[in-house]
């Protein structure tokens, strides 16, 4: 897949099957839309083009959303679009001046005259332009004027529930990582680098890797203990992750992410990790003593080892 950081970076080709959206999460509904564009591009012997925006429009348009957390970074969106078979990803900088364009001006300048369109694929509730004036009906009329086809995609449901990014964010913030994974079509993941910590886990019999997140814009699941998969390069391991302030030891602790990797003893300071959240084990608790904490950690490990066998058998 090729990446264009502006319209000028992609050559004009009228035989382009295009879809436009923020696509935060590239969840099941997004996958259906992008997959349809890829399918039509192959059928028409054309190219599939995914157009997205950076930063997220809500970060620019709504001051209340300045601290809005994302499901995917731009790099993750790029990787997921490539996995879906898209030929091009076009990233347009979203700012206030850009947001003031009308629906028609955007499509004529950027898509019809810039990229080229033979078919555009959009979700049923697609809205675009100043005051969200553009919709599927307006797009169909524009298609008649400029000779391109509009393919609307109906609302996508998983287990009878409509899939959208806001709902997935809320599930993660509530700790429901399994539910979130069902809507994403994959486990929710955080990326980060291993940094030095206070080495307390080692004294408890559970050495942990403290993880500094690659992006603080991403959703951090609710504080608690999780069964996770850890990826280091091409290698994969199971383990436990803790998100929280460690109330047994600190009164006003800083929220950190740390992972205990099963059957692993290598020095990985400075290494990049990917942590896939598979299942929530429990809330973060304050214990009356270190011994009680260690006893609970043993129980957490026992449950995680049982889950490890389950996930290995499904692989």
Q: What is the pLDDT of residues 87-117, one digit of tens each?
A: 999 999 999 999 889 989 999 999 999 999 9
With tokens 């809330």, the residue in question is 283
Strand order in the sheet with 47-54: 2-4, 88-93, 47-54, 16-20, 119-123, 149-153
The first and second tokens of residue 10, run together, are 């992609």
Cα–Cα distance, 128 to 93 (Å, whole number): 15
Helix or strand run (H / E) with residue 236: strand 235-244
Contact between 190 and 211 under an 8 Å Cβ cutoff? The reply is: yes
Give tens-digit pLDDT for 170-198: 999 999 999 999 999 999 999 999 999 87
Domains of the chain, earliest start first: 2-162 (3.40.50.620), 187-314 (2.40.30.30)
Cα–Cα distance, 278 to 294 (Å, whole number): 22
Give tens-digit pLDDT for 289-309: 999 999 999 999 999 999 998
Cα–Cα distance, 275 to 98 (Å, whole number): 35
What would the mean pLDDT of 154-175 be, rounded to a whole number? 95
pTM of the model: 0.93
Task: Report the chain's mean pLDDT, rounded to a whole number.
Answer: 93
Residue 300 φ then ψ, to 5°: -60, -40
At residue 66, the pLDDT reads 52
Contact between 34 and 84 under an 8 Å Cβ cutoff? The reply is: yes
Q: Can you tell me whether residue 200 is helix, strand or coil?
A: helix
Give tens-digit pLDDT for 274-283: 999 999 999 9
> How many other C-beta atoms lie within 10 A of the C-beta of residue 285?
13
- Each as own residue / partner, the long-range contacts of residues 60-69 (CB below 8 Å, 24 or more positions apart, any chain) are 60/94, 60/95, 60/96, 60/99, 61/96, 61/99, 69/169, 69/217, 69/218, 69/219, 69/220
**DSSP summary character for residue 289:** S
Contact between 58 and 12 under an 8 Å Cβ cutoff? The reply is: no
> How many other C-beta atoms lie within 10 A of the C-beta of residue 29?
24
Q: Treating both helix axes as pointing N-terminal to C-terminal, what angle do 177-184 and 165-173 enclose, rounded to 10 degrees?
A: 160
Residue 196 φ then ψ, to 5°: -60, 145
Give tens-digit pLDDT for 19-53: 999 999 999 999 999 999 999 999 999 999 999 99
3-class SS string, 13-43: CCCEEEEECCCCCCCHHHHHHHHHHHHHHHH
């Amino acid at each position: 897949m090729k990446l264009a950081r502006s319209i000028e970076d992609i050559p004009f080709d009228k035989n382009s099957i295009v879809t436009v959206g923020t696509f935060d999460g590239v969840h099941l509904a997004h996958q259906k839309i992008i997959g349809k564009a890829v399918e039509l591009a192959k059928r028409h012997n054309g190219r599939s083009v995914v157009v997205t925006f950076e930063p997220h429009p809500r970060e620019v348009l709504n001051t209340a959303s300045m601290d809005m957390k994302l499901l995917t970074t731009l790099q993750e969106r790029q990787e997921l679009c490539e996995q879906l078979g898209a030929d091009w990803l076009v990233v347009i900088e979203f700012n206030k001046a850009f947001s003031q364009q009308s629906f028609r001006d955007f499509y004529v300048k950027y898509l019809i005259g810039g990229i080229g369109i033979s078919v555009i694929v959009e979700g049923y509730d697609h809205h675009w332009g100043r005051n969200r004036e553009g919709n599927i009906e307006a797009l169909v009329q524009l298609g008649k004027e400029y000779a391109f086809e509009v393919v609307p995609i109906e609302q996508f449901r998983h287990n009878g529930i409509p899939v959208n990014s806001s709902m997935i964010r809320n599930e993660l913030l509530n700790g429901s990582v399994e539910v979130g994974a069902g809507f994403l079509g994959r486990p929710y993941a955080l990326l980060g680098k291993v940094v030095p910590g206070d080495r307390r886990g080692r004294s408890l019999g559970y050495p942990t890797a403290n993880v500094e997140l690659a992006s603080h814009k991403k959703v951090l699941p609710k504080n608690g203990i999780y069964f996770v998969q850890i990826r280091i390069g091409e290698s994969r391991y199971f383990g436990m992750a803790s998100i929280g302030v460690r109330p047994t030891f600190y009164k006003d602790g800083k929220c950190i992410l740390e992972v205990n990797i099963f059957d692993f003893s290598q020095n990985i300071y400075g290494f990049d990790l990917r942590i896939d959240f598979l299942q929530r084990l429990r809330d973060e608790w304050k214990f009356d003593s270190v011994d009680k904490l260690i006893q609970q950690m043993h129980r957490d490990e026992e449950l995680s080892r049982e889950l490890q066998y389950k996930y290995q058998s499904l692989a």
